[in-house]
């Protein structure tokens, strides 16, 4: 009995993804091999364009083996080309088959985050032009990413297999001209920004949670954090969540809209 079209297509796809799977009958193996190479080359080109430093530092042979394994065994969930690198990075973080260096997954995450931020379509948010009050609800700007790694993935030098003694804490921002800027964060700034996150929190609540986590009083933390909090708001790193009506500025103050 002749195979249904759906069965034939599935066998074709399975063989193209993994040549160890049986090929459909009546199709020349050479033609299938050419088709498979074209598909993998397209994926290789797409990922290499998004993760160029990862490709360079892994080396061509290891990189190609990784891409072929990903192509054969991972069912991609996104149909959007710009998101494939992020999905690849997430997949890579779960893999132990290839004995990859520890920095590989972190470098993939960093590079895919750069790509995602570069094409981020949301508005930068409303900068707060006055010292935030305890009741203000603040969040990370959509054009900001706060990142923590074991390896210095933002440096152009060759990666060392040994993790550095101190974590790499980074603030990645997209500027108004669409350039990406990366800055190293002090532990306090990293903890403060992480306490607000992208969902946002009231200033008092964020400081209270942070104080409890580090075993200090909220009042003592406020004294240390208040100047930094003002700087982060003025720079547009932390923005006002306009969905909360009680976050509107007091009379006589203004919110300046930052164009991305």
Domain ranges of the chain: 122-260
Averaged confidence pLDDT in the chain: 87
- Half-sphere exposure of residue 241, counting CA atoms within 13 Å on the CB side? 17
Give the per-residue pLDDT at 246: 40
Dihedral of alpha carbons 35, 60, 182, 137, sign: positive
User: How far is 237 from 193, CA to CA, in rounded Å?
Assistant: 9
pLDDT of residue 253: 30
Question: What CATH number was assigned to the domain covering residues 122-260?
Answer: 3.90.930.50
Question: Which pLDDT value is given to residue 242?
Answer: 53
Instruction: Find the helix or strand (DSSP H, E) in which 145 lies.
Output: strand 144-149
| Residue 2, pLDDT score | 65
Query: Residue 185: which of 136, 231, 142, 239 has the closest Cα?
Result: 231
pLDDT for residue 12: 84
For the chain, which ranges sit under pLDDT 50?
1, 243-260
Summarised one tens digit per residue, pLDDT across range 212-256 is 998 999 899 999 999 999 999 999 999 986 543 343 333 333 222
* pLDDT at position 91: 95
Give dist(CA 48, CA 59) in Å, integer.
12
- Residue 205 pairs in a beta bridge with none
Residues 6 or more apart from 14 whose CB is under 8 A from it?
21
Quick one: pLDDT at residue 252?
Answer: 32
């Amino acid at each position: 009995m002749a195979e249904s079209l759906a069965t034939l297509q599935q066998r074709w796809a399975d063989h193209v993804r993994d040549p160890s799977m049986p090929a459909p009958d009546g199709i020349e193996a050479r033609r299938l091999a050419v088709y498979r190479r074209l598909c993998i080359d397209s994926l290789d080109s797409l990922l290499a364009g998004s993760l160029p430093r990862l490709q360079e530092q892994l080396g061509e042979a290891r990189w190609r083996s990784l891409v072929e394994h990903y192509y054969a065994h991972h069912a991609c969930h996104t149909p959007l080309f710009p998101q494939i690198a992020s999905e690849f990075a997430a997949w890579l973080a779960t893999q132990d088959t290839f004995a990859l260096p520890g920095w590989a997954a972190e470098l993939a995450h960093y590079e895919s985050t750069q790509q995602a931020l570069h094409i981020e379509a949301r508005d930068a948010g409303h900068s707060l032009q006055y010292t935030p009050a305890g009741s203000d609800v603040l969040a990370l700007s959509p054009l900001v990413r706060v990142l923590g790694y074991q390896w210095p993935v933002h440096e152009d030098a060759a990666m060392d297999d040994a993790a550095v003694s101190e974590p790499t804490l980074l603030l990645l921002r997209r500027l108004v001209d669409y350039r990406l800027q990366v800055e190293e964060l002090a532990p306090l700034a990293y903890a403060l920004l992480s306490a607000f996150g992208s969902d946002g929190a009231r200033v008092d609540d964020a400081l209270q949670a942070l104080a409890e986590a580090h075993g200090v009083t909220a009042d003592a933390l406020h004294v240390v954090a208040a100047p930094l909090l003002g700087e982060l708001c003025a720079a547009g790193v932390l923005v006002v969540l306009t969905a909360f009506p009680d976050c509107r500025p007091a009379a006589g103050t203004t919110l300046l809209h930052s164009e991305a």
